């Protein structure tokens, strides 16, 4: 009990199958509370499936996923875990504010919370715009803003910075950092390796398995490389395979 409540996420022998393919094959993972954890790996390696399992929307074949001390997907977690899907899940025929107000009502969050997340995601200039008329980057920020409503303890963000301009990306990472400093745990997936340096811990994933779980500096030291991309390649070489 002591172990599980000090972890944000604890996964034991998780197996997920999709049709005939085994996406995750006996995966073990522990994510401590607080901080930014980067989930890196090529597309198709199982990042999204892992995140869906943590949020509790993925049907799993076997294994145990414990989130904030409870089985993933339990009802109390629905206010404690925020989830941003890879494709922005927003109502295109609602304005930015209407989208956020609806989610706030479902969460029972106060109306002032809507203004807070609009400011945090730099959407103040677009509150009256239909989400369908926004750019791709703006839509994904609405999706992110919705996940920030109700101040969840764990944020699961599936590629939240895709398609954003560099300035905005830096701003979002500083937002992630402020949240982490307040004790929030963030699991952020990305296939942009240069974002890895901003994380407190890195999970490198390949073919449905964890290749590494370390701090960025420890990873560079251990692989004697200068950047995460080379570290990733070195680890795969060492594992002896393609």
Partner 1 sequence: MSPLRTLATAGRVLTQIRHDPRTIGLLLVVPSLLIGLVAWLFDDTDVFPQIGPAMLGLFPFIVMFLVTSIATLRERRSGTLERLLTLPIGRLDFILGYALAFALLAIAQAGIAVSFAVLVCGLEIDGSVWLLMVVALADAVLGSTLGLLASAFARTEFQVVQFMPAIVFPQVLLGGVLIPRDQMPDVLYAISNWLPLSHAIDALNAVARDDEDAGYVGAQLLVILTFAVGSVVLGSLTLRRRTP
Give contact residues for partner 1 (rule: CB under 8 A): 18-19, 55-59, 73, 75, 78-79, 81, 83, 85, 87-94, 98, 102-103, 105-108, 130, 143, 146
Provide the minimum distance between the beta carbon of 149 and partner 1 in the complex, in angstroms, as a whole number. Answer: 9
Q: Report d(CA 78, CA 149) in Å as an integer.
A: 12
Closest CB to partner 1 among residues 123, 204 = 123
Provide the minimum distance between the beta carbon of 130 and partner 1 in the complex, in angstroms, as a whole number. Answer: 7
Closest CB to partner 1 among residues 9, 146 = 146
Q: Report d(CA 68, CA 66) in Å as an integer.
A: 7
Provide the minimum distance between the beta carbon of 213 and partner 1 in the complex, in angstroms, as a whole number. Answer: 25
Provide the minimum distance between the beta carbon of 43 and partner 1 in the complex, in angstroms, as a whole number. Answer: 17
**What is the Cα gyration radius of the chain?**
18
The structure tokens listed for 62 are: 């076997």
Closest CB to partner 1 among residues 158, 195 = 158
Closest CB to partner 1 among residues 7, 58 = 58
CB-based contacts of 106: which residues, under 8 Å, 6+ apart? Answer: none
Angle, to 10 degrees, between the axis of helix 136-148 and the axis of helix 96-107? 20
| Cβ burial, residue 142 (10 Å; 0-12/13-18/19+) | buried
């Amino acid at each position: 009990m002591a172990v599980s409540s000090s972890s944000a996420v604890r996964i034991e022998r998780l197996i997920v199958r999709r049709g005939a393919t085994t996406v995750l094959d006996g995966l073990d993972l522990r994510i401590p509370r607080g901080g930014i954890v980067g989930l890196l790996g090529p597309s198709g390696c199982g990042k999204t499936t892992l995140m869906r399992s943590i949020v509790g929307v993925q049907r799993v074949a076997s294994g145990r996923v414990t989130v904030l001390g409870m089985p993933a997907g339990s009802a109390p977690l629905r206010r404690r875990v925020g989830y941003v899907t890879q494709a922005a899940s927003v109502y295109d025929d609602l304005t930015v504010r209407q989208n956020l107000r609806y989610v706030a009502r479902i969460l029972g969050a106060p109306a002032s919370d809507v203004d807070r997340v609009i400011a945090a995601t730099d959407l103040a200039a677009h509150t009256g715009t239909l989400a369908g008329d926004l750019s791709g980057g703006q839509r994904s920020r609405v999706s992110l803003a919705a996940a920030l409503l109700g101040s969840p303890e764990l944020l699961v963000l599936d590629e939240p910075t895709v398609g954003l301009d560099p300035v905005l990306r830096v701003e979002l990472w500083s937002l992630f950092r402020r949240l982490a400093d307040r004790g929030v745990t963030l699991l952020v997936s990305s296939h942009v390796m240069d974002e890895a340096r901003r994380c407190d811990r890195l999970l490198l994933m390949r073919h449905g398995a964890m290749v590494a779980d370390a701090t960025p500096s420890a990873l560079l030291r251990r692989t004697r490389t200068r950047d995460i991309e080379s570290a990733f390649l070195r680890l795969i070489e060492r594992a002896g395979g393609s």
